[in-house]
Structure formats: C-alpha cells, structure tokens
Amino acid sequence: CLGAKVKDVFQGRLPFLFKVLSVNTALSIQAHPNKELAAKLHVQFPEHYPDANHKPEMAIALTPFEGLCGFRPVEEIVSFLQSVPELRALIGEVAAEQLERSGSNDPRGVSAGPPVKSEKKFFVDQLNMLVKRISQEAVEGKDMSGSNGDLLLRLHSQYPGDIGCFTIYFLNLVRLEPGEAMFLGANEPHAYLHGDCVECMACSDNTVRAGLTSKFIDVLTLCEMLNYTPAPSSSKIFPATQSQLDPSIYLYDPPVPDFAVMRIEIPASIKLYLVSAVDSASILLVIQGTAVGTSTAAASEMTLRRGSVLFISANESISLHLSSPDGMLLF
C-alpha cells in the first residue's frame, strides 16, 4: 500500500507524520538535525535522540498563526540591542559594539552563544528587570514595539524565568494567515507560538531544544548546529503552487523527498469530486464540509465530515459526493 517508490527509498516505512496542532502555549525553541548529525546524536545519546533520521517540518496555518523562525536581519538585532538595555547587558558591551561596528551578516557572536550560555542567575536577573520595566510601560500605556513588549510579557507569563524569552530579539516573528506555510529545514531555529495548523514532517522524533520548555535542553549541540544566516521574516513564508490541471489543488512541495502536502479547496458548485490517485500512500484530512466517499478499495461508503481522516493506499482514488452547501477543505 505504500507504493513501489516509497518502499525502495524508505525501506518499506511510511516516511512522514501528519498532525493537527492547536497551540495555545508556546512550544519550545528548537531545531532539528540533518541526517548526518541525527545519526551521530542517536549513537551518542539514544535516550534523547531516539532515531537516526532528520526531521524537516512544514506548518500550514488553519487560523492566524504565529511562530519564530530563523535569525532576523542583523540590523533588527542591532536595533533591539540599542533599545533593550537588559538584552545588551546580557550580551555584553564588547560583543554588542562589535556587531554594531562590523555590519556583519553573521549574528552568532551575540545570539545563540552568550545568551543561552550565560549563568542562570545573571540572565534571570536581567529578564526580571526587563519584565518589570515592560510591565510598567504597559500600565502607563506606552508604545512597547521597540522592545517587542507584548510578546515578551506573553511568553514570560507562560515560562517565567526562562532564557528562551530573549530569543524574540534574535529570531523572526512570522505571522501566517490561513493557507500560508512555514518550511523548517535542518538546523533552522524555530518555535510555534499560537494558533492552529496542520503539520507534516519526516518520520523522526529528533529535537534539539534551547528554551521555553521543561524537557531536556542541549545548548551546546544547538549552538554548534544552527543555521545562523539572517533573513527577513517574509522569506520564511513557503509558497503553495496552484495546480494547472485542477484549480482546487494547492501544492506545498518542500525540498525534501519525505513528504509534500496538498490543500484541496472544493467549491460549493461541485457536487462530485475525484481525489486523484498518487504513487505513494497518503493521508486525507477533512477540515471543513461533508461528503460521502467511495473507493474500489473500501467495502462500503464512508461518511466524511470535519475531523475525518482516511489512509489512502498508493494508486488509489477516492470519489467524494459532496453534501455541504459551503464546499469542502481538505489536506
């Protein structure tokens, strides 16, 4: 049922995991290793890295969605160093001035290095001073955008005293509208902050964490593996391509062989829709609408509604007889 290509390439295993996430409390600051590092970590620390696979991920927003992803442009980091004295104290004056003078495109000297490696009491003291100052500014109705104040207070309320709160000054805040996506390749620092999404990823559980979590934190590995290339937040939005053969289909096709995702928007005017066969096993998730599904592989009709999930074998098609007045949304 997996398909000949998947059997050959992935040794007879389903190569992806497909999830629905509803994020109310921020998830950890993390990154996922490439295959080479994953194999090494699995051998050295199997209790923390339980397999030898990489874990590229894609999040596609179902509601307005917020996440942190990749390093900000250096000029944005410099701006925060100049407007947030507690951050500057944490980084150190020498490193801050060096970044300001050099105009370097490599933020590693002031980002994942000093902050996450600082003595806990020192960074907690700086964080507490920052939160106290921003809280007072909020009471006074001041503009807190220069210090990312609203987000800081929100994260600190969820993870008080956590070093991960400072990462908002180094990582891009990415806002997605429904249908927009983020692709998270190997070594890309990220965190999901709020909202609902569908998430597809390679079949792995390898996660290197640095903050906003009570789970195992591996700072040294994270600092060594990260992609430090700065880029604007707009560059982190992964585009979908509308199918020329079927305008109902939007394809998210990341640069990895493990998975791709289709968003299928069936308009209300269509009452019979064919989910075409593909050459690998797939999962069909109903987000909106109702239909009766039929397939030569199924013994009986299938009633599909919001939350219904089908596993579809390779080279199998599904006919949908729509009964919803508003069409359907599927992944």
DSSP state of 279: S
Query: What b-and-e string marks burial along 140-150, b requiring 16 or more CB atoms within 10 Å of the CB?
Result: eeeebeebbbe
- Model pLDDT, residue 251: 98
Q: Which residues are part of the catalytic machinery? A: 209
231-235 contacts at long range (C-beta below 8 A, 24 or more positions apart): 231/70, 231/71, 231/73, 231/172, 232/72, 232/73, 232/172, 233/69, 233/72, 233/172, 233/173, 233/174, 233/175, 235/70
Stretch 169-182: mean pLDDT, rounded? 98
More confident residue, 70 or 119: 70
The identity of residue 320, as a single letter, is L
pLDDT at 117 over 80: no
- The DSSP secondary structure of 203-219, one letter per residue, reads S----EEEES-SS---H
- Model pLDDT, residue 63: 98
pLDDT at 104 over 70: no
Neighbours of 292 (CB within 10 A): 13
Residues 314, 3 contacting (CB under 8 angstroms): yes
Q: What percent of the chain clears pLDDT 90, i.e. is strictly above it?
A: 79
pLDDT at 39 over 70: yes
Structure pTM? 0.93
The identity of residue 182, as a single letter, is M
Please, which pLDDT band fits residue 110 given cuts at 50, 70 and 90? low
Phi–psi pair at 105, nearest 5 degrees: -95, 15
Stretch 172-200: mean pLDDT, rounded? 98
Please, which pLDDT band fits residue 149 given cuts at 50, 70 and 90? very high
Query: Domain spanning 267-330 has what CATH number?
Result: 2.60.120.10
- How much is the CA Rg of the chain, to the nearest whole Å? 22
DSSP state of 320: E
pLDDT at 113 over 60: no
CA–CA separation, 167 vs 188, rounded Å? 13
Q: Mean pLDDT, the chain, as a whole number?
A: 92
- Model pLDDT, residue 115: 52
- Model pLDDT, residue 25: 98
Q: DSSP H helical segments within the chain, as ranges?
A: 4-9, 35-44, 74-83, 85-91, 93-102, 114-117, 120-139, 149-158, 219-225
Stretch 8-35: mean pLDDT, rounded? 93
Residues 147, 84 contacting (CB under 8 angstroms): yes
- Model pLDDT, residue 136: 96
Phi–psi pair at 5, nearest 5 degrees: -65, -45
The residues spanned by each domain of the chain are 14-238, 267-330
pLDDT in tens, 189-234: 999 999 999 999 999 999 999 889 889 889 889 888 999 999 999 9
Closest to 188 (Cα-Cα) out of 41, 71, 17: 71
pLDDT at 112 over 50: no
pLDDT in tens, 262-303: 999 999 999 999 999 999 999 999 999 999 999 988 878 999
Domain 14-238 fold: Phosphomannose Isomerase; domain 2 (1.10.441)
